[in-house]
Structure 1
Amino acid sequence: MEEWILEQLTHLHDCQEEEIPELEIDVDELLDIESADTRAARVTELLVDCHKPTEASVSGLLDKMQGTQKLSTAQKK
């Protein structure tokens, strides 16, 4: 997931990986947020300085996180 996030950030900031502004998207923090709308708002807030529209990346990240949650829940059983 980290690699996917880096790819999205390079695209959104229209730069190379080493040029991405200091930004941390803490997936664990986002997983602790129960509401999908609140998660989306938090990610959108983190991506406020991006040069390109962020909606598709936010949606993609939330989709990937949903899969991660299901795996985590299954692993706990």
Structure 2
Amino acid sequence: MVGLVPTFRWGAPVAVRSGSENKVDGKTTVYECRRGGGSMALETCLAPEALARFVLDGEFMGAISTAGAE
């Protein structure tokens, strides 16, 4: 069976996970969303203190949107 390469037809990935060993404070990763059309998923890793400051910032919270809030 030398030279045979298995073919898996599992379809498009459902989710992407970066893994806990790849998360550090301040790291941001952008993934293309499954629905296409230029949409994206953004993963940002923040220390709890930094996240708390963002939540208290009304201007920042008013400028962001989340999936499903359309």
The answer to whether TM tops 0.5 is no
| Higher RCO (CA-CA < 8 Å; seq separation 6+) | 1
TM range (shorter): under 0.3
Specify which structure has the higher proportion of helix.
1
TM-score (norm 1): 0.23
Greater fraction of residues in strand:
2
